[in-house]
């Protein structure tokens, strides 16, 4: 199992071309052409090259030049959606082994018919896996952050946190960290409520849902688990070396501290898909688009991590084919 899924079924041809000696291809979409996507893709590719030194080939998909810079337009959303569809076709056919996606404007995407909460949900549903079986993970240097819920209104989060969701996201985060650091990771699990519920004073989700999930994850032996802990205490402990990863219950609980420290380095990895999908951990940046000010650090890191993950998948499939 690599990337949280078994290599079988619809994508069983994932590595056929690679076994014949060709480099696996990773598609790159720039996202909304009115944002910083085209700029950061171009800057990142100047640094990492065409991917061949990393054992892959990067392939540009869709519009790569900036258009209507600084503005979210319906035309920009249509172009971004077209690139996503083209990437999905390549992934389903086996022509692409992974994809790195630039940022899109969710509002205008919805206005042109995009029916998903975000790109993560698009790939989860269109691949047939389902959004409840994938996890949004973030890597920065040697640390990782996983989210139990993704793009949800805060008022809905408490009803969406479940024992199963904590287990799935925790399992995916542990797999990702093992790949990143090469040893058994130490993971802190955040509570949902302030002070992790304060023994039931501020809510009982910790005892009812999170603690049983942690016990099951401990039994699997992949990682060392501690929690539930107060969410505002975990990241300082990670920076101090106590933990390698944090499992957060909701989007801003995990990404607020991560972006405060690693805004230009963090990478979004969708774990659980039958292919590799990464993206930079930032939005469209319309306010600086077209000015040459955008940092490409996160996009560069996304390309590197995607290449490493794809190569590991290919190596595993090659080993399996020789058995």
Q: What is the CATH number of the domain that holds 182?
A: 3.40.718.10
Residues 247 and 153 in one domain: yes
Q: Report d(CA 291, CA 166) in Å as an integer.
A: 42
What gap in Å lies between CA 119 and CA 269, rounded to an integer?
Answer: 11
H or E segment at 319? helix 297-322
Comparing 323 with 38, the larger pLDDT belongs to: 38
Round to whole Å and give the CA distance between 313 and 94: 13
Backbone angles phi, psi at 93, to 5 degrees: -80, -15
Tell me what pLDDT residue 21 has: 66
pLDDT band at 248 (very low <50, low <70, confident <90, very high): very high
Ramachandran angles phi, psi of 144, nearest 5°: -140, 145
With a pLDDT cut of 90, the percent of the chain lying above it is 80
Question: In the structure, what pLDDT confidence band is assigned to residue 14 with cuts at 50, 70 and 90?
Answer: very low
> Residue 68: its pLDDT value, please?
84
Q: Is the pLDDT reported for residue 152 higher than 60? A: yes
Q: What pLDDT score does 17 carry? A: 45
Domain holding 322, by residue range, is 1-131+272-323
Does residue 18 share a domain with residue 74? Answer: yes
Both 215 and 195 in a single domain?
Answer: yes
* Predicted pLDDT at 285: 95
Residue 137's closest CA among 320, 286, 3? 3
Task: Count H helices and E strands in the chain, helices first.
Answer: 12, 10
Helix axes 251-262, 231-239, angle to 10 degrees: 30
Q: What is the pLDDT of residue 317?
A: 66
For residue 2, pLDDT beyond 90: no
How many folded domains does the chain comprise?
2
C-alpha 172/C-alpha 148 separation (Å) is 10
The answer to whether residues 41 and 299 touch, using CB atoms and an 8 Å cutoff, is: yes
Q: Give me the mean pLDDT over the 227-255 stretch.
A: 95
Same domain, residue pair 217 and 253: yes
Nearest CA among 22, 157, 16 for reference residue 93: 16
Q: What is the mean pLDDT of residues 152-175?
A: 96
Find the distance separating the first CA and the last CA of the chain, reported in whole Å: 16
pLDDT digit string, tens, across residues 78-116: 999 999 999 999 999 999 999 999 999 999 999 999 999
pTM: 0.86
């Amino acid at each position: 199992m690599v990337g949280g899924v078994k290599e079988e079924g619809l994508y069983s041809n994932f590595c056929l071309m690679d076994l014949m000696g060709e480099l696996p291809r990773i598609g790159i979409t720039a996202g909304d052409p009115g944002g910083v996507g085209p700029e950061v893709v171009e800057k990142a590719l100047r640094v990492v090259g065409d991917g061949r030194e990393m054992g892959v080939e990067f392939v540009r998909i869709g519009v790569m030049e900036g258009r209507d810079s600084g503005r979210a337009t319906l035309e920009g959303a249509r172009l971004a959606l077209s690139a996503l569809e083209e990437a999905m076709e390549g992934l389903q056919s086996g022509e692409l082994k992974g994809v790195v996606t630039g940022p899109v404007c969710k509002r205008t995407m919805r206005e042109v018919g995009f029916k998903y909460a975000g790109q993560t949900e698009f790939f989860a549903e269109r691949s047939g896996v389902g959004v409840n079986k994938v996890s949004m993970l973030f890597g920065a240097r040697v640390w990782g952050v996983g989210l139990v819920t993704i793009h949800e209104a805060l008022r809905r989060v408490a009803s969406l946190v479940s024992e199963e969701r904590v287990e799935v996201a925790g399992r995916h985060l542990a797999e990702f960290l093992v790949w990143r650091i090469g040893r058994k990771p130490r993971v802190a699990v955040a509570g949902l409520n302030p002070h992790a519920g304060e023994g039931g004073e501020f809510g009982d989700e910790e005892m009812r849902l999170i603690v049983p999930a942690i016990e099951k994850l401990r039994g699997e032996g992949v990682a060392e688990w501690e929690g539930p802990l107060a969410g505002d205490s975990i990241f300082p402990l990670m920076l101090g070396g106590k933990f390698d990863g944090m499992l957060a219950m909701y989007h801003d609980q995990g990404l607020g501290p991560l972006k405060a420290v690693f805004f230009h380095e963090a990478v979004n990895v969708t774990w659980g898909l039958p292919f590799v999908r990464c993206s930079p951990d930032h939005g469209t940046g319309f306010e600086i688009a077209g000015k040459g000010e955008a940092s490409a650090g996160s996009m560069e890191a996304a390309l590197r991590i995607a290449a490493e993950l794809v190569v590991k998948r290919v190596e595993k499939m090659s080993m399996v084919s020789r058995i």
